Structure 1
Amino acid sequence: MWKKEKKQETQEVSPEKEEGRDLYEWAQALVCSVLAVVLLFTFVIRLIGVDGHSMVPTLQDGDRLLVLNAMLDNDYEYGDIVVLRKDTFLEEPIVKRVIATEGQTVDIDFVSGAVYVDGELLEEDYINEPTYVEEGTEFPLTVPEGSIFVMGDNRNHSSDSRSSDLGTVDTRYVIGKAVFLLFPGADEATGQRDFGRIGPIAGID
C-alpha cells in the first residue's frame, strides 16, 4: 500500500513544471505561426501599394493590394490587374491592366479613343476616359510570345505599353496578379477613403 502511494506521488507534476510546459507550447505555436506567415508572404502572396493615379478609377493612389505570386499563377488574360517591375522602365513596381496576351493584335484609334484587340472593339467600362494619348508605340501591334500588353485605366495619365520605353511586357517581369484590395487609399477627388471598395479584384468578364 505504501509503495503504491509513493508511485502516485512521483507521477504528479509540480505547478512550476506545468506552467513551464504551457509556456513552451505557447512559444512553439507562436514560432510556427510566424514561420507560416513568413512563408505565405514570401512564396504565395505579397502586399504592394499603388503609387500614382494611372489606375483611377479602379484603384487609387495609396491602395494596398494583396498580390498572388506569379510563380503560382502566370496564366494571364484580358482584364487581369498585374503588378510588374522592369528596371529599365521604372525601378518601382507598377500596376496595370492586361489588355492583350501573346499572339493577339492590338490597335488603337487615338482620334476616337477606341481600343481593338484582334479587330474587336473593347467595351471598356472600367476606364476613366477614352484613349487619346500616343506614347511612341506603333499600331497595330502583335503581342510577342511570352508577353502581354498592358495599360492603366486612367488612359491619358498612364505610362504603359503604349510607351516605346515599355512596350509589350515579358511575363518574367510580372510580380503577380492583384487579387484583393486590402486597404483603400484616399480618393483623388474627395480625399476620403472608401472602405466599401475593400474586397476581391476581379477581372473583366
Structure 2
Amino acid sequence: MGEQLKKEAVEWIKVIATALVFAFIITQFIRPTLVRGESMYPTLEEDNYLIINRISYKVGEPKLGDIIVFSTDLTQEDGRKKDLVKRVIGVAKDHIKIEDSKVYLNGKQIQEPYIHGKYTDGNIDMTIPEGKIFAMGDNRENSLDSRYEEVGLIDKKDIMGKVAIRLFPFNKIGTVK
C-alpha cells in the first residue's frame, strides 16, 4: 500500500506542477481586469469582466480605436494604483484637436459612433510626441482621460495591454470594438 501511496503522491505533484507552469505562462500573455466606472459606456459597463492581451503592444503598436488598459499615478480608495480603460484616439506624430465638441485627427474630424452623447469637452490642440498616446473614454462627459492633467498623455510603457474579450456579463461575451 505504501508504494501505491507514493505513486499517487507523485502523480498529484506532477499535475499541480503542470497546472502552475500553465498558469504562469498564461498570465504572461493575458490578464483579467474588471471595469470600474462608466467612462467607457456604452461600449463597456461597470463590472464587465475583461481579458486583456498583454503581448499585443510588445510586438505591435497601438492603433486608432484600440481599447487599452494602462496604469496611472492615480490611487484608488484602498491606496493601490488605479488602472484605466480607454480608447486610443491618437498615437505618436498625430495631431489632435478638440474644438466645438468635435475631435479632429490630423486635420480631419473623426467619426465616433461608439461615444455616448455628442459632446466632447475640452480645447486640445497638440501633436503627440514619440512614445506617447492620447486616449479618451467613450462616455466623454464622464471620463477622466488624456484631456485632463491628472491623466495626460499615456506612456507606451504604461500600457498593460489591449482589451481582447469581455467574459462577463455572459450575454455579452465576445470581442470588444
- The structural deviation recorded for 1:22 is 4.3
Specify the alignment match of 1:3 in structure 2: none
Q: Give the conservation status (yes or no) of the 8 Å contact 2:103–2:120.
A: no
Assess, with a 3 A threshold, how the Cα gap between structure 1 residues 48 and 101 changes in structure 2: closer, same or farther. Answer: same
Measured in 2, the distance between the counterparts of 1:95 and 1:66 equals 12
Q: Confirm or deny: 8 A CA contact 1:74 1:176 kept in the other structure.
A: no
User: Which one of 69, 72, 79 corresponds to residue 54 of structure 2?
Assistant: 69
* CA positional deviation for 1:129: 1.3
Q: How many residues are matched?
A: 172
CA distance in 2, matches of 1:131, 1:89: 28
Q: TM-score scaled by structure 1?
A: 0.75
Matched residues in 1 for 2:66 and 2:15: separation?
A: 37
Q: Distance in 1 between matches of 2:97 and 2:75?
A: 22
Partner of 1:25: 11
Q: In the alignment, which residue of structure 1 is the partner of 2:83?
A: 93
Q: Look up the match of 1:127.
A: 115
1:166 aligned residue = 151
Deviations, residues 52-98 of structure 1 (Å, cap 9, x unaligned): 00000000011111112256445100111111112158731010000
After the TM superposition, which of the residue ranges 113-122 and 92-101 deviates more from structure 2?
113-122
- Secondary structure, counterpart of 1:156 in structure 2: helix
Q: 1:183 to 1:61 in 2, by over 3 A?
A: same
Please tell me the root mean square deviation across aligned C-alpha atoms, in Å: 2.1
Aligned CA distance change for structure 1 residues 48 and 143 (closer, same or farther; 3 Å): same
Describe how 1:1-205 pairs up with structure 2 within 5 A. 17-18=3-4, 20-41=6-27, 43-69=28-54, 72-73=58-59, 75-87=61-73, 91-110=81-100, 113-134=101-122, 138-184=123-169, 195-202=170-177
CA deviation string 1:133-183 (max 9, x = no partner): 22xxx5221111111000000011111111123221111111111111122
CA distance in 1, matches of 2:150, 2:12: 53
Q: TM-score, normalised by structure 2?
A: 0.86
Q: Distance in 1 between matches of 2:103 and 2:118?
A: 9
Question: What are the ranges of 5 or more consecutive residues in structure 1 without an aligned counterpart?
Answer: 1-14, 185-194
Identity of aligned residues (%): 31
Secondary structure of the structure 1 residue equivalent to 2:114: coil
Structure 2 residue runs of 5 or longer lacking an equivalent are: none
CA distance in 1, matches of 2:167, 2:90: 27
